[in-house]
Structure 1
C-alpha cells in the first residue's frame, strides 16, 4: 500500500513540474509573405502569397513546434505593371511548369525546433513541403513582442529544384544560357501570432 501511494505521489509531482506548452495562432491577415525569383542574368520578379493558417507552440520563450499552410492559389505578382503580362506570369507560376496549384493547392512548413543565440536571434529548423516533396529547412528569425502579440521576421531561401519546380532550371536543362532561372527562391516573411 505504501509503495502504491509513493508511486502515485511521484506521478503527481512529475506531472506538476513539467513545463507548460503554450500555443499561439497565426494572424493570417496581418502576416506578410513576399517572394522573389531571379533569372541568372538580368530580371527578377516579386510578389506576395497568402498564409492560410498556422500556429506556433512554446515552452517558455522557446519555439518547440508549429505548422503553417500557404494557399498556393493566392500567388500574386507585384513588379509587372502591364495587367495582361502580369496575369500571364501568374498563370505560368500556377501551371505545372512551376507550382501546379490545381493539383497542389497548399504548401506546408512544419517547425521542428529552435535555438536562441546571445543576440536574441532565433535559429529555426523545420520541414518544407511543396508539391508533396518534403525537405529540411533552416532559417534565422528576429522576434518582437508587444503585449500578447509576437512578430517574427525572417528571410527564408529554398531551392525550388528540390520540389520538382523545373522550368528554366539549370539543374534539369543544360542549354538555357541567359534564360536560366535561379533555383533559389527568397521569401521575406513577417509572421504575426497571438
Structure 2
C-alpha cells in the first residue's frame, strides 16, 4: 500500500509506544450495580417509594468504591436505569432515567422519575407500537456511577528554536508542501 501511495519514508513519533497508555489513563472509571426486582409500575408513582431506597443504596455502594479509588464526589455522575417490559412480553428494555444525569449529591431534589413515559416512547420507537392496556413490569434496578479520570492541564504549544531541531522534513499541510522541523 505504501508503494501504491508513493510514500518513501515513514516517521514514527518517539513516544508512540506510550501514547496508548496515556489515553487509557484519561478514560472514565465506571462502577455498575444491579439488583433484581419484580414490581408493577404505577402511573401515580406509588412504586417510587419502593424503588428509590434501592437506587440510593446502589448509589452509596458505587460512591464508596469510587472513593476507595481516589475519586471525589465532584467527579462522580450517576445514571439510573430500570429494566422494564410490558406484562406478558419477553422483550425488556433497559430504560435510563431521562433526568438521571445528576451529581453525586443525595438525596435527589423533587420527583425526577420519568421512567414510565420513557419506556412507552422507547418501546414505540424500537417496536413500532405500545401496549397501553397492559401493566409495566420492573425487572431490575441498576445504577452506573461514572467518574472522570484525572485531567491534565492544557498547555499552549511553544515554538522550538532552529538550534533544537534535528532536521527538516517535507510535510503536506492542506495542498501545499512545507518544511517542518523535527
TM-score after normalising by structure 1: 0.27
The structure number with the bigger radius of gyration is 2
Q: Which has the higher contact order (CA 8 A, sep 6+)?
A: 2
**Which one has a larger percent helix, Structure 1 or Structure 2?**
2
Q: Calculate the TM-score normalised by the size of structure 2.
A: 0.28
